[in-house]
Structure 1
Amino acid sequence: MGRPTDGRSATATPASVDVSVVLPAYNEERTIENTVRVTLQTLESFLPADAFEVIVAEDGCDDRTPEIADRMAAEDSRVRHFHSDTRLGRGGALEHAFAAAHGETLVYFDTDLATDMQHLESLVERVRSGEYDVATGSRWMPENVADRPVKRGFPSQVYNGLVRVFLRSDLRDHQCGFKAFSRQAFETLRDDVEDEHWFWDTEMLVRAQRAGFRVAEFPVDWEPKGDTKVDLVRDVLGMGSQILRTWWQLSVRPRITREVTIVSGLLLTLVAVALMTLYIDPSEVLSVLGDADPTLVAAAAAIYVLSWPLRGLRYRDILGELGYHEKTGFLTGAIFISQTGNLVFPARAGDAVRAYVVKARRGIPYPSGFASLAVERVFDLLTIAGLAGVVLVGLAATGGLNDIASVLATGVSGGNVDVSASDVRTVAYVATGVGVVAIAGVLAIALSARADSNLVRAVVGRFSSDSYVEYVAGVIEQFVSDLQAVAGNRAAFGRVGVSSLAIWTIDVVTAVVVLFALGVDIDPTVLVGVSFFAVSVGNLAKVLPLSPGGVGLYEIAFTVFMAALAPVTPAMALAAAVLDHAVKNAVTIVGGVASMLSLNVSLTTAVEESADVRERELAESE
């Protein structure tokens, strides 16, 4: 991003001016000169000639606007030209210009002069007098509703309605480009306002109200001039995302305490269990579990433990390709802690915990922690999808696809277990969709590595052009770059791929041993092959979990395909799925607690602080 520069005239503007008027300008060569002259004349009508300045905040223009602004600044010492080499966005241009302004009353209005300039004195004096901290013109006051074309008026009313409902604003018009702020209000709010484009002034108004500043809204005469520079598809969608982001920050996140998070996780678990009882008789499952061989259950747990050092080795290889070299033991502990967090807290909050741990204990930047974790997830999905695909080919060769087609059409029932065909199809759709997306995503990344154009920003830019989308595009680009770094090194790709295969093979072997612990007596070759398919589909399906730990879709998938293909009785298959999950979760929790004690990490503190650490890291990188 090019640094803004102040291209004002040789005669410096006095630093003691009362009022600074900023004119945000992007390719305004046809109007900017007239706008500046009208602004100067209007200000002179009610202020001393040396009491104000006019700043042209020229935002990376590619027309003659910079040339005209420079000339006017040279002709009049009260005019300043604030130039940026690249686009900052309307909000970004305003913020930088206000920060460099000399006045205690900061004013801006749109350069098309759609708002009648007879209101400028009223706008300025509301703040300059000290009566209000913020003032804004309004086109939607009951006594003076603007006559706007439907294509612009209707979206504006919807937008303002959403802001009032979600952000609890008392104002009727947040978008009118005719506003004033006291220096104190601006300096207090500027660091909290994240948007740098069309939502900037809305966020300023909302946060001003929340902070207790006095905000005045008054009716203005307004007439649309020319075509709006707001893209009614991209920018409206972008501002919608900003409403949700601000709502989350102001209304939701402050209420997410440790107690709320734990209670939410428990409630989600209870809901998942309650839903399972709709097609499962718990008593029959418990009866089967009661007959499990404890020695083999312990053996299953011991086998599963073997996968954890492999997880640490894989994570070490991924971080190594990103330039960070850490010991396997530490990384295994960090994974244990994060996976324990995913079992306890909803919305995979444990993922943030891992990034927090490697940042707090080893100084690995927060974005790199998330990127490395995302790369790990991609390899997981590719490995699972590959395993499922290999078994599917084998089933096709042996006639097993007929059994899959049958279970998709009829579901599974037996004893007191009844899984409907619609539930089976849901699992199949989710698993297939996740597998296809994972493979397609890697192919797209491989293709993008060969292209010279920036495909990420081109695709994301189709949906919106606001500053938040720039942040999202940056995150995606970082992820793509890190994935390419691992995939681009054949040796690293091979190591990570082999370790992923070993990890998920151990996961399947654990499930097979659990089945033997429950007394399953079928051909081991058939059992292993079907288990690979059932476990793989179940893990793909649980990408959309019903509760923490993925309880729900995994059990359905395992039960259905084991019962249809092994064959194992539905009650036995379900009991195996539940016991398999319980064994793996128990190992995870024990390892997580031990790792928290070893690394001196509090799980709840890590969940709470990870959000703050991430915000600080992002702020430092800007």
Structure 2
Amino acid sequence: MTGVEVSVVLPAYNEEATIEHTVETTLDTLGAFLPAGSFEVIVAEDGCDDRTPEIADRLAAADDRVRHFHSDERLGRGGALERAFEASHGDTLVYFDTDLATDMAHLEELVESVRTEGYDVVTGSRRMPGEKQEREPERGVASTGYNTLVKLFLRSDLYDHQCGFKAFDRAALFDLLDEVEDDHWFWDTEVLVRAQRAGYRVKEFPVRWTPKGDTKVDLVRDVLGMGSQILRVWWEFSVRPRATRRAGLVAGTLLVVVALALMTVYLDPAAILDAIAGADPALVGVSAAVYLVSWPLRGLRYRDILAELGYDGDLGFLTGAIFISQTGNLVFPARLGDGVRAYVVKARRGVAYPSAFASLAVERVFDLLAITALAGAVLVGLVATGGTDGLAAAIAADIGTVTIGGETIAPGEAARTALRVAAGVGIVAVAAVAVIVASARRDTDLVGRAVRWVSDDSYAAYVTGVIERFVGDVQTVAGTRAAFARVGLSSLAVWVVDVAVAVVVVAAFGFALTPYLVAVLFFAVSVGNLAKVIPLSPGGIGLYEGAFTLIVVAFTAVPGLTAAVAIAVAVVDHAVKNVVTVAGGVASTLLFNVSLTEAVEGAGEADDSVSSGR
């Protein structure tokens, strides 16, 4: 077909009851104001499982103004639209919802706003000031909340971002699509926001709109899906441009300084330094030797992970690569050291960037599984064995009873109840670990089933895919029982050794190591390591100490183990680990002739390569 100026795309999913009427109405309406042969109607059929494909084929065969594009699998509304627009012939591109909820009397204004008036993007609006539409309260509230968030976070000047009635200049749209990432319901909003940011001429005009079809608010699409996409675009526009390496270093350093300054408000720095000075140097040295044991365990685990991804590696080099990357994490914020490792194994062993980052993702998943299992199991064990009774008794003896508003409260019993509640949370955490492991060990789509249980919307497929990619990282290693057992057990061993370092440091401060105290240390170190997952400061400095101190002080009543001493223990514990890490990192860079500066620059190359799919 030649001479086509306007291409109208109708995104269709299971529309057998309406698609024929919609196509006929569209052709009649376009024919009323456009010259014959100057328009086409494309049915962008998106993986339908009803008779829509057959009907669309019949309509296309009967009228050369109609075209049909079929997809065997769901592309999402945005994906289906992009595919059809790419195959269209017109310079003015239009789409609207096939339920014809928007009055077709507005179609001429929509088309001509682009075709003759020169606008780049035009959208109908159900929410412009002074215009009222009949809407179900549930959908109206959701729409108001959504559009308010878009205007607030993404600084849009429009009132209605999701009205399915839009037109685009072809060149402008395809320029925008280079940056649009969403393929589903957020596609409309992202195109409109990016058009405004890019300075294109955008027009919004009021339309008469009658709601049709299923109007329920969908949990996955409207809350998880759309909300996460708003945050993604906000991060890209407002945070990422400012999140430079220098800004990260400054922010991380300031965070540590502020944390240390705040500590001086409620802790005596002199007391902390005195406590550190009183530690047994020989036992501190032993703690360093204990920590050194964890590094070949890390190397063995990483070798097993890479083997499952099809790469061989020698233990010495892989251990050195981990040393180098962890040293990078201590020096730079936001876990840039992970990119350093990807660069090192790519440069020296030919491991492709996608595989290198996949191996890191698997390692992180097993780290989180191991830490969560340790923390949750210890807390549950404390309650199950009555270990919390001693804590409750100590609190009661130290505080006695408290009278508030004429009511007498026993702090010991309150503490016991609170810990039982926390144990319940621990059980949930352990159960969550079990579910992830079960999902990874089976071919059954447990994640997909769970998401579809709360939502049958097409956006559920998108959210399911995101979650399944996470579980898939584990599944890569869980493909064989032996590999899963090796990586799982080595992960537990790594973190048990990490706790053992803290145990030895506590002994260096002169405290008797009772089973209860050791159990609390397991919990404190595990929670401290979870706090370090947040990449706010290089090496989690300040975060680990704060979490460790809070747990130890809250869960123990050991004479002399005050807040000042607890933070001194955390400082020494963390310092020992960091000194060993840096020493190993420096030795590895010299042994394998790797420049840390070059590796950090290469990490940026690694991130770009993975982002672009290379």
1:326 paired with 2:321, answer no
Residue in structure 2 matched with residue 580 of structure 1 by the alignment: 573
Residue in structure 2 matched with residue 83 of structure 1 by the alignment: 70
Name the amino acid aligned to 1:477: E
1:294-329 superposed Cα distances (whole Å, 9 cap, x missing partner): 454344323322321221112212332343322223
Name the amino acid aligned to 2:557: A
1:235 paired with 2:226, answer no
Query: Quick one: structure 1 residues 503 and 44, their matched pair in 2 at CA, closer, same or farther if it must change by over 3 Å?
Result: closer
Q: SS at 1:21's partner residue?
A: strand
- Give the deviation of 1:284 after TM superposition: 0.8
Q: SS at 1:54's partner residue?
A: strand
Contact 1:427/1:556 (8 A) holds in 2: no
How many residues are treated as equivalent by the alignment?
Answer: 589
Name the amino acid aligned to 2:581: T
Determine the C-alpha separation between the residues in 2 that align with 1:429 and 1:614.
45
Residue in structure 1 matched with residue 403 of structure 2 by the alignment: none
1:49 paired with 2:36, answer yes
Residue in structure 2 matched with residue 374 of structure 1 by the alignment: 364
Identity %: 57
Q: SS at 2:162's partner residue?
A: coil
Query: Quick one: structure 1 residues 105 and 332, their matched pair in 2 at CA, closer, same or farther if it must change by over 3 Å?
Result: same
- Give the deviation of 1:136 after TM superposition: 1.2
- Give the deviation of 1:605 after TM superposition: 3.8
Query: Quick one: structure 1 residues 484 and 154, their matched pair in 2 at CA, closer, same or farther if it must change by over 3 Å?
Result: closer
Q: SS at 2:35's partner residue?
A: coil
Name the amino acid aligned to 1:369: S
Q: SS at 1:173's partner residue?
A: coil
1:240-284 superposed Cα distances (whole Å, 9 cap, x missing partner): 221111111222112111122112212322343344445432211
1:155 paired with 2:151, answer no
Residue in structure 2 matched with residue 218 of structure 1 by the alignment: 205
Contact 1:559/1:574 (8 A) holds in 2: no
Contact 1:22/1:107 (8 A) holds in 2: yes
1:473 paired with 2:469, answer no
Residue in structure 2 matched with residue 615 of structure 1 by the alignment: 611
- Structure 2: 5+ residue stretches without partners: 400-410
Query: Quick one: structure 1 residues 377 and 108, their matched pair in 2 at CA, closer, same or farther if it must change by over 3 Å?
Result: same
Name the amino acid aligned to 2:474: L
1:291 paired with 2:303, answer no
Determine the C-alpha separation between the residues in 1 that align with 2:571 and 2:452.
45
Name the amino acid aligned to 1:363: A
Q: SS at 1:46's partner residue?
A: coil
1:167 paired with 2:162, answer no
Alignment of 1:560-571 (within 5 A): 564=557, 571=564
- Give the deviation of 1:285 after TM superposition: 1.3
1:19-57 superposed Cα distances (whole Å, 9 cap, x missing partner): 111111122222222221221122222222111111011
Alignment of 1:82-101 (within 5 A): 82-101=69-88
Q: Which moved more, 1:183-192 or 1:342-351?
A: 342-351
Determine the C-alpha separation between the residues in 2 that align with 1:470 and 1:411.
55
Q: SS at 2:255's partner residue?
A: helix
Residue in structure 2 matched with residue 591 of structure 1 by the alignment: 584
- Give the deviation of 1:193 after TM superposition: 1.2
- Give the deviation of 1:614 after TM superposition: 3.7
- Give the deviation of 1:440 after TM superposition: 1.6
Of 164, 186, 193 in structure 1, the residue corresponding to residue 173 of structure 2 is 186
- Give the deviation of 1:78 after TM superposition: 0.9
Contact 1:434/1:540 (8 A) holds in 2: no
Contact 1:530/1:565 (8 A) holds in 2: no
Query: Quick one: structure 1 residues 439 and 109, their matched pair in 2 at CA, closer, same or farther if it must change by over 3 Å?
Result: same
Contact 1:310/1:499 (8 A) holds in 2: yes
Of 546, 550, 555 in structure 1, the residue corresponding to residue 549 of structure 2 is 555
Determine the C-alpha separation between the residues in 2 that align with 1:426 and 1:345.
42
Contact 1:141/1:219 (8 A) holds in 2: yes
Q: SS at 1:492's partner residue?
A: helix
Contact 1:428/1:541 (8 A) holds in 2: no
TM-score (norm 1): 0.83
Residue in structure 1 matched with residue 244 of structure 2 by the alignment: 257
Residue in structure 1 matched with residue 96 of structure 2 by the alignment: 109
Name the amino acid aligned to 1:74: A
- Give the deviation of 1:427 after TM superposition: 11
Determine the C-alpha separation between the residues in 2 that align with 1:426 and 1:365.
47
1:533 paired with 2:523, answer no
1:67-93 superposed Cα distances (whole Å, 9 cap, x missing partner): 221111111111101111222221111
Residue in structure 2 matched with residue 455 of structure 1 by the alignment: 446
Once superposed, what is the RMSD of the aligned Cα atoms? 3.7
Residue in structure 2 matched with residue 444 of structure 1 by the alignment: 435
Contact 1:60/1:86 (8 A) holds in 2: yes
Contact 1:555/1:578 (8 A) holds in 2: no
Query: Quick one: structure 1 residues 491 and 20, their matched pair in 2 at CA, closer, same or farther if it must change by over 3 Å?
Result: closer
- Give the deviation of 1:342 after TM superposition: 4.3
Residue in structure 2 matched with residue 10 of structure 1 by the alignment: none
Contact 1:288/1:572 (8 A) holds in 2: yes
- Give the deviation of 1:574 after TM superposition: 3.9
